[in-house]
Amino acid sequence: RFSSGRRRRREPAAEGSPPRDRGSMRCQQVAVQYFARSTELAELCSETLSVPQQITSLQLWEEIVKIHPR
């Protein structure tokens, strides 16, 4: 048992196990801004995307590519 005010130390993840929710977002909408070549390919500077309650940055990228395959 830990005394109050003392933080528990996190153990490193076991090799081969998925990362602990690092890089994920918990929201319903994400504002995406495009720059340079991405603006040309998407044909817009920014947009708001509806996403699941929890999504990783890689999953968000895959959603953007589905919407704007160029």
Which tens digit of pLDDT belongs to each residue from 7-52? 555 555 455 545 555 565 556 899 999 999 999 999 999 999 998 8
Q: Do 28 and 50 meet the contact criterion of CB atoms below 8 Å apart?
A: yes
Residue 32's nearest CA partner among 7, 9, 66, 1 is: 66
Residue 51's nearest CA partner among 23, 21, 31 is: 31
Which pLDDT value is given to residue 63? 92
Mean pLDDT for 60-70 is 93
Domains of the chain: 27-67 (3.10.20.30)
**Three-state DSSP class for 6?**
coil
Residue 61's nearest CA partner among 11, 53, 69 is: 69
**pTM of the entire predicted model:** 0.57
Classify the phi-psi angles of 16: left when phi > 0, otherwise alpha if psi is within -120 to 50, otherwise beta: left
